[in-house]
């Protein structure tokens, strides 16, 4: 898919394979490689790993993201990207997922299990789904708020699987008061304590079994949780129960007022603060803007990924896996095979559309980084994408 190598130099990314020594906190990021800016040390960027993986691409998606859940329980996060937008109707069965995974089996994409406006663990047969994924040999990553982690799931997560597999739990708070405010909960809610207990139990099981599961705890930096005291407390509270403490700047949802989000000056201050911690577990996503980038014209990330919502609809990316964007769906896996959908004229038509014509412009951090960098590389003739794929 790449027609020429990229130039080397300090402005490019250093991409290394994972150090698998048990004594090291060096870890794989959510795409299975460690990509660091050569002169920034602790910040991650997605594009280096993507390019490394594209070198081995065969035209099939590198990653398939599943959104099996239908709700978030009591959580009503103020920064939710799907605020005021509904999920599509319908719910895939375990038989549907089994057929889908059979379709994907010969190509072995990474399986990410997440959700927009929903927690994947709310799927009633989540443990059965994860067993299917593991039995069929897929590497997986799970993004969740951690409230619905059951004892059965904790044990299943730490049983045998590939070393690329991980779970990321969004905590975003160092104490119950802040957690309740950010997640739309009453002041006396016990949800934070339950999440913390689940994290402690998950890490204890990992340690007991010497599991290779990577446990990442995510922290979105907002006005109400980004003081030095907040960050210190979070690191002290959770540092012993995670492989990675991942900090990042959230994006403003398209339908939300930008209240509570950090301005650029505040962002720079927080990132400088995080850079002073002598803790190998801390990583910061290399994404410093709360607003969406509007410089690129085409969505190139959709050429490498696919997202399947709870009803089986296949979308170009996770941010549009909602009823409002159903016109962008390539098809439904309960009606057609994934391979037919991936190779369909409908998907090819979407690839030819500009972001303006797609009427989305709601890229998540990963896809926006990919789109921004790849559009720039193509514009400067450093990178040529095979548009037939």
The reported pLDDT for the residue numbered 257 is 60
Per-residue model confidence as pLDDT tens digits over 27-52 = 333 323 233 322 233 444 555 666 65
Is pLDDT at 317 greater than 60 in this prediction?
yes
The reported pLDDT for the residue numbered 1 is 35
Most confident of the following: 94-98, 115-119, 157-161 = 94-98
The reported pLDDT for the residue numbered 378 is 61
**Residues with Cβ within 8 Å of residue 44, at least 6 apart in sequence:** 29, 35, 36, 283, 284, 285, 286
Q: 257: alpha, beta or left, given left = phi > 0 and alpha = psi -120 to 50? A: beta
Most confident of the following: 77-86, 107-116, 292-301, 351-360 = 107-116
Among 106-115, 166-175, 364-373, whose mean pLDDT is lowest?
Answer: 364-373
Average model confidence (pLDDT) for the chain? 80
Per-residue model confidence as pLDDT tens digits over 273-282 = 888 887 789 9
Among 230-239, 266-275, 302-311, 320-329, whose mean pLDDT is lowest?
Answer: 266-275
CA distance 368 to 307: 16
Task: Give the DSSP letter string of 12-44.
Answer: SEEEE-----TT------TTSSEEEETTTSSEE
CA distance 255 to 235: 32
Contact call for residues 338 and 331 (beta carbons, < 8 A): no
**CA distances in angstroms from 136 to 98, 109, 339, listed in the order given:** 9, 12, 17
The reported pLDDT for the residue numbered 358 is 79
Cα angle 382, 56, 159; round to 5? 130
Rounded to an integer, the average pLDDT of 370-388 is 58
Q: Strand 34-37 vs strand 13-16: parallel, antiparallel, or unpaired?
A: antiparallel
Q: What percent of the chain has pLDDT over 90?
A: 51
The reported pLDDT for the residue numbered 4 is 31
The reported pLDDT for the residue numbered 163 is 79
Is pLDDT at 88 greater than 90 in this prediction?
yes
Rounded to an integer, the average pLDDT of 188-211 is 97
């Amino acid at each position: 898919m790449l027609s020429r190598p990229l130039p080397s130099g300090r402005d490019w990314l250093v991409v290394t394979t994972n150090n698998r020594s048990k004594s090291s906190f060096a870890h794989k990021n959510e795409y299975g490689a460690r990509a660091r800016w050569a002169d920034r040390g602790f910040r991650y960027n997605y594009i280096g790993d993507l390019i490394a993986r594209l070198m081995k691409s065969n035209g099939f998606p590198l990653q398939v993201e599943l959104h099996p859940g239908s709700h978030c329980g009591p959580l009503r996060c103020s920064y939710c990207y799907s605020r005021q937008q509904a999920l599509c109707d319908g719910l895939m069965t375990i038989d549907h997922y089994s057929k889908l995974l059979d379709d994907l089996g010969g190509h072995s994409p990474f399986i990410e299990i997440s959700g927009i406006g929903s927690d994947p663990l709310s799927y009633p047969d989540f443990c059965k789904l994860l067993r299917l994924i593991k039995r069929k040999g897929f590497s997986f990553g799970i993004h969740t708020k951690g409230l619905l982690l059951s004892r059965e799931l904790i044990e299943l997560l730490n049983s045998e699987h590939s070393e690329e597999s991980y779970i990321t739990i969004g905590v975003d708070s160092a104490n119950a008061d802040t957690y309740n405010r950010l997640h739309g909960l009453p002041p006396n809610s016990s949800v934070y304590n339950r999440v913390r207990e689940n994290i402690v139990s998950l890490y204890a099981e990992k340690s007991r079994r010497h599991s290779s599961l990577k446990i990442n705890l995510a922290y979105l930096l907002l006005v109400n949780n980004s003081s030095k005291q907040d960050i210190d407390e979070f690191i002290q509270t959770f540092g012993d129960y995670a492989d990675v403490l991942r900090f990042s700047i959230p994006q403003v949802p398209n339908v939300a007022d930008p209240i509570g989000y950090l301005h650029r000056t505040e962002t720079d201050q927080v990132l400088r603060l995080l850079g002073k911690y002598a803790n190998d577990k801390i990583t910061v996503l290399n994404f410093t803007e709360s607003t969406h980038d509007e410089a690129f014209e085409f969505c190139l990330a959709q050429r490498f990924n696919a997202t399947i919502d709870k009803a089986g609809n296949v979308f170009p990316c996770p941010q549009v896996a909602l009823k409002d964007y159903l016109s962008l769906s390539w098809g439904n896996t309960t009606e057609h095979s994934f391979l037919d959908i991936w190779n369909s004229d409908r998907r090819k038509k979407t690839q030819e559309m500009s972001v303006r014509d797609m009427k989305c412009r709601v890229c998540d951090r990963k896809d926006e980084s990919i789109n921004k960098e790849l559009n720039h590389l193509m514009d400067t003739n450093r990178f040529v994408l095979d548009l037939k794929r």
